[in-house]
Amino acid sequence: MTARDIAPATGKLGVLTPGMGAVASTFIAGVLAARQEGAAPLGSVSQMAHIRLGTREDGRNPLIKDFAPLASLDDIVFGGWDPISANALEAARTCGVLEEKDLAPISSEMEGIVAMEAVFDQKWVSRLDGTRVKSETNMWDQAMALMADIENFRTENECDRLVMVWCGSTEAYQEASEVHATIDAFEAGLKANDENISPSQIYVYAALQSGVPFANGAPNLSTDLPCMMQLSERNGVPIAGKDFKTGQTLMKTLIAPGLKARMLGLRGWYSTNILGNRDGEVLDAPENFKTKEESKLGVLHKILEPEVYPDLYGNIDHVVRINYYPPRGDNKEGWDAIDIFGWMGYPMQIKIDFLCRDSILAAPIVLDLALFMDLAHRAGESGVQEWLSFYLKAPQSAVDGVPAEQDLFIQQTKLKNTLREWMGEPAVTHSEAG
């Protein structure tokens, strides 16, 4: 197999996050701790996972980061925008994910990561009152202002390359409309301040026009719009979305493939969460929860394929709830009541009580998406990077009419085989032969 011609990861990589809240500040803190104190980047597949090459007998099993030419953690520079947080340290202290003892050694560096003024409109996030907001009122001017920010950041920090990962709030529910159909329609909409264009879409436009890959960590409609897919192809820039796969949905995509692998039936799955951070507060608004609900509900259907297995999965009640409960802060509690059935139709139950930490699970995903999106760009990729579905709750499909894979284990195989292919190694199929 011939390896792809991948440009080397020389120089600095700027990682820009629209949104400098719990997830972004926890991500930044973890990378700074890893490079200052050698703390292991736990949960990061790009940094900690090995990849088998060749047959089992070959004994070749390097770390992914030693196999694929990824940017080094030492070469990352951080930046971002936020309508509330002034800098990464303030964001970290406000959300309360990390303890002061962990922030102390990196506090001056965190404080130096100042959030740029955001393109923000409260219409899309009713629970937030942003004050650090750009003065431009026309959307086209806002896009130009973001592009100027991107170029200033690139120059001031002497970055060779940039990537953007949306870590901003979940916007109100929206469906695609005519303004999203083509690049021309979207640009005309920006100039006319079209009410169907949300702030996150303006960031995607600015990124893609600046040659910056964009990954969407929230369930907002942004990279999954026809105009953005066209723009990413036209400008030769990769995109990926959407919604970081953490917490309850991570559990769901671990368990559902297992039930299906053993042909056990599912009658119902009731999921409820209590969450007390700013994300929970935003999602307390019904129009914002609807965006999240859509992204969470799709998972089971795509994994279980009721149309192929009507006897097992043709009649499922799937309910997802999120309740804002301030005492828990970022430490979410997710309960799942799962009603399954087996041989001769006998019912069984599974209960899960996952006391997780949302941003601790999301932070390594931001790192991996940033590094892999940068790799994809250097490998000459554009359009949807479906091989990164592994990290996403509602993965965007690269093929019209064919949904993206939702099963975490198939997604993992796809990710690793994509890396093997790019590096000129044969795919590992785990068949008896190999």
Ligand X SMILES: NC(=O)c1ccc[n+]([C@@H]2O[C@H](COP(=O)([O-])OP(=O)(O)OC[C@H]3O[C@@H](n4cnc5c(N)ncnc54)[C@H](O)[C@@H]3O)[C@@H](O)[C@H]2O)c1
Name the site residues for ligand X (rule: CB under 6 A): 18-23, 81-85, 95, 118-120, 125, 128, 167-170, 199, 217-218, 243-244, 246-247, 277-279, 282, 358-359, 361-362
Six-digit token string for 35:
């490079």
Rounded to a whole number of angstroms, the minimum distance from the CB of residue 331 to ligand X is 11
Instruction: Give whichever of 149 and 243 is closer to ligand X, judged by the CB atom.
Output: 243
Helix (H) or strand (E) holding 317: strand 317-324
Rounded to a whole number of angstroms, the minimum distance from the CB of residue 110 to ligand X is 15
Cβ-contact 65, 45 below 8 angstroms: no
**Helices and strands (H, E) in the chain, number of each type:** 16, 10
Instruction: Give whichever of 82 and 336 is closer to ligand X, judged by the CB atom.
Output: 82
Rounded to a whole number of angstroms, the minimum distance from the CB of residue 387 to ligand X is 19
Instruction: Give whichever of 22 and 227 is closer to ligand X, judged by the CB atom.
Output: 22
Cis peptide before 242 (omega within 30 of 0): yes
Residues 6+ away with beta carbon under 8 Å from 229: 223, 239, 383, 384
C-alpha closest to that of 393 among 404, 402, 385 = 404
Instruction: Give whichever of 56 and 123 is closer to ligand X, judged by the CB atom.
Output: 123
Instruction: Give whichever of 265 and 280 is closer to ligand X, judged by the CB atom.
Output: 280
* Cross-sheet strand order for the sheet of 159-166: 76-81, 12-18, 159-166, 214-216, 238-241, 383-384
Taking residue 82's Cβ as centre, other Cβ atoms within 10 Å add up to 29
* Cross-sheet strand order for the sheet of 347-355: 317-324, 265-275, 333-341, 347-355
Instruction: Give whichever of 218 and 320 is closer to ligand X, judged by the CB atom.
Output: 218
Rounded to a whole number of angstroms, the minimum distance from the CB of residue 369 to ligand X is 12
C-alpha closest to that of 293 among 316, 323, 337 = 323
Indicate the residue whose CB is closest to ligand X: 21
Six-digit token string for 18:
């629209």
CA 199 from centroid of its chain's CA atoms: 17
Rounded to a whole number of angstroms, the minimum distance from the CB of residue 167 to ligand X is 5
Largest CA distance in the chain: 67
Instruction: Give whichever of 292 and 414 is closer to ligand X, judged by the CB atom.
Output: 292
Instruction: Give whichever of 333 and 358 is closer to ligand X, judged by the CB atom.
Output: 358
C-alpha closest to that of 341 among 252, 268, 258, 256 = 268
Residues facing residue 13 across a β-bridge: 76, 161
Six-digit token string for 114:
């100042």
Rounded to a whole number of angstroms, the minimum distance from the CB of residue 432 to ligand X is 39
